Each structure stands twice: as structure tokens, then as C-alpha cells.
């Protein structure tokens, strides 16, 4: 397997690469992750079953699109592929470190700059991808309300019902989305799609980095909302973002609607008490429009 990966790296980069050392590193709960080196150049490699190749193809494309905006640092994607038993993606290796308020503020500014990248095709993306290990449907739609109701909340609710999830106010919520998003003009912005603290960091020089995307074109607020979901980013991040691209009035209510997608997905991934949390969020959202 490593020989095949070496050959692909050599082919893509035009520079001879032969792994002389590899070591397992932390890479999340879905993939195996390795740091490989030929003594001169180091790469980060994620591995999964051969059947998961399309997941890495989507990650490759998402990182490439974000990289090409020249706004916020992402690991440069090198290549992806499949062997007989495994699929893989090879990325630039970045040594990450903790950082202070100035770097968090810069992350906010840089993300805001990326969010100014707009699609002329509408809301969606070039291919379906995954949110965690759950399929994420990215069929193009001209209308954000239609896209979010059908391909985000509607799809997650459908999966959750199959797993025994019970959401008494689901239909009422879906019907209320047009009212919830009324008077909120949305442009289809390039979003990371899975922006929580585990997918953001800083180089040893303090440069902000985001990674492991679930990319698509949608309301930029979905990224900001998710940064608040699991403990939140430091205030400096939000200050930096607001300097470059201030949020629209009503965000505090919309962020609950957008984070509901991730909570229902967490039920689909992990089960447990996420149904109760989701139903509480639905009730809060509906109360906001009474």
C-alpha cells in the first residue's frame, strides 16, 4: 500500500518520493492517520476502507476549492486514491500549536474573506460528501430555503426516524423555515460545513488553519453557528469576523436552526440523548416566531 501511495505522490508532484518512515498520529474517529516522510518532505495521510474513496475525493475537492481562494490556510491537498484494500488522501503536513487572541482574530478575518467566495450555480456543491460519516446531499438548488429544508434538516430527520428518533414538531418546523428565514437575504457562500474546535488550529507561527471540511455553498452563518455549538471559539474570533463581514440581524435565532442539523446528525451517528436536545431546540425555534 505505501509503495502505491509513494508512486501516486511522485506522479502528482513530479518529485521522487519514497517513504522511509511513517508513524500513526491522531486523525479523529473515522479514519486512520499517519505522518509519512522520505527524510526531506513530510505528508499527512488518512486511510479508510477502499469503499470510502469517494469520501476522500470530496475532501480533496473541498480543500482544493478553499485553498484556491487564498483567504484562509488549509492543508494543501496532494492526491487521493484507492488500493486493493484501502482508500487514502495525502495532504500537506502542518505542525499545529495553540495560539493567542491575535491569531484567533485573524482566523475570524480570514474565514470572513473566504465566505465572500460566491457560487453562480446556487446552493449546493459539485458532489455529495459527508458530515462525519453521514452522507451529506448537495444537489444544487436556486433557493436556500428549499435547499436547507430538503437536503439538510429534511434528510437528517428522515435518517433519524429510521433509527427510532421521534420529533413531534418536525413537520411544523419544516413548514416554518420560510418564515424563520424571511427577510434574510442569503448568497451561496463557500462554507467549511463542519467548523468546530476540532477542525481548527494554528501553525507554530500562529497562522490560522481549518481542515476536515464538509464543503458546500450555503448561508455563511452555518459556519459561524457551528463554532458556537461545542463550547464556542474565543471572542477574538467573532470580533475578527465582524470586522470584515458583519452578521445580519436575527442571527441569534437562525443559529439554533442551523445547529439543529448537527444535533440531529449526532443522534444519527451516536444515538443517546441528542433526540431530547433536538426537540428542545425545535421548541425554542418555534417559540421565536409566535
Q: Is 6 a catalytic residue?
A: no
Q: Which residues pair with 209 in a beta bridge?
A: 73, 201
Cα–Cα distance, 255 to 29 (Å, whole number): 26
Q: Cα-flanking dihedrals φ and ψ of residue 153, to 5°?
A: -65, -45
DSSP classification of residue 27? -
In DSSP notation, 168-201 reads TTHHHHHHHHHHHTTT-----EEE-S--SGGGEE
CA 171 to chain centre: 26
Find all residues with CB under 8 Å of 101, minimum gap 6, and list them: 234, 236
Q: Which of 6, 194, 212, 219 does the annotation list as catalytic? A: 194
- Residue 204: is it exposed, middle or buried by C-beta count within 10 angstroms (0-12/13-18/19+)? exposed
DSSP classification of residue 197? G
Cell of 289: 416566531
In terms of Cα–Cα distance, which of 157, 146, 124, 149 is closest to 265?
157
Cα–Cα distance, 191 to 25 (Å, whole number): 27
Give the residue numbers marked as catalytic.
Answer: 194
Amino acid at each position: 500500500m505505501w509503495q502505491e501511495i509513494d508512486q501516486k505522490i511522485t506522479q502528482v508532484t513530479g518529485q521522487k518520493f519514497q517513504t522511509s518512515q511513517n508513524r500513526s498520529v491522531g486523525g479523529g474517529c473515522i479514519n486512520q492517520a499517519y505522518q509519512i516522510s522520505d527524510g526531506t518532505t513530510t505528508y499527512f495521510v488518512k486511510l479508510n476502507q477502499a469503499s470510502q474513496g469517494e469520501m476522500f475525493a470530496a475532501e480533496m475537492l473541498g480543500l482544493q476549492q478553499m485553498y484556491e481562494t487564498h483567504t484562509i490556510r488549509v492543508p494543501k491537498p496532494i492526491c487521493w486514491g484507492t488500493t486493493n484494500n484501502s482508500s487514502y488522501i495525502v495532504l500537506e503536513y502542518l505542525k499545529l500549536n495553540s495560539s493567542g487572541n491575535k491569531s484567533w482574530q485573524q482566523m475570524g478575518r480570514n474565514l470572513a474573506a473566504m465566505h465572500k467566495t460566491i457560487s453562480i450555480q446556487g446552493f449546493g456543491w459539485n458532489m455529495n460528501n459527508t458530515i462525519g460519516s453521514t452522507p451529506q446531499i448537495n444537489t444544487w438548488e436556486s433557493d436556500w430555503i428549499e435547499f436547507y429544508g430538503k437536503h439538510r434538516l429534511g434528510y437528517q430527520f428522515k435518517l433519524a426516524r429510521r433509527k427510532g428518533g421521534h420529533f413531534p414538531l418536525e413537520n411544523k418546523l419544516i413548514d416554518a423555515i420560510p418564515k424563520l428565514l424571511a427577510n434574510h437575504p442569503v448568497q451561496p457562500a463557500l462554507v467549511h460545513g463542519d467548523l468546530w474546535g476540532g477542525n481548527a488550529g494554528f501553525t507554530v507561527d500562529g497562522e490560522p488553519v481549518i481542515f476536515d471540511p464538509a464543503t458546500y455553498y450555503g448561508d455563511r452563518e452555518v459556519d459561524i453557528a457551528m463554532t458556537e455549538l461545542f463550547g464556542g471559539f474565543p471572542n477574538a474570533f467573532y470580533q475578527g469576523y465582524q470586522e470584515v463581514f458583519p452578521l445580519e440581524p436575527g442571527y441569534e435565532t437562525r443559529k439554533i436552526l442551523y445547529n439543529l442539523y448537527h444535533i440531529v446528525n449526532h443522534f444519527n451517528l451516536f444515538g443517546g440523548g441528542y433526540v431530547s436536545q433536538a426537540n428542545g431546540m425545535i421548541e425554542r425555534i418555534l417559540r421565536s416566531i409566535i
